[in-house]
Amino acid sequence: MISRKSSLEKELETVLKQEQRYIDKYKEKKESFLNQKLAQKIPDGLQEKLDAAFSKAFFLVFDKG
């Protein structure tokens, strides 16, 4: 016997397929083009120092207003 799916079931299948494709596409975070280029130019030690300084500056701005 042929079973027919309701339009709601068809729509649900479509949405679930789209959701799975979206999840698969964005599962791994991709590094931006700019960050890739900067990583090639800036040594690791300097990058860590810049990140620490940036973090400290934000903390001061938000802490003291």
pLDDT of 13 reads: 95
Indicate if the pLDDT at residue 1 is higher than 70. no
27-61: pLDDT as tens digits: 887 888 888 888 889 887 898 899 999 999 999 99
Do the domain assignments include residue 57? Answer: yes
Number of domains in the chain: 1
pTM of the complete model beyond 0.85: no
Q: Coil, strand or helix: which one is 32? A: coil
Task: Give CA–CA dist 4/7, Å, rounded.
Answer: 9
Residue numbers of the domain that contains 40:
31-65
H or E element that contains 12: helix 7-25
Do the domain assignments include residue 56? Answer: yes
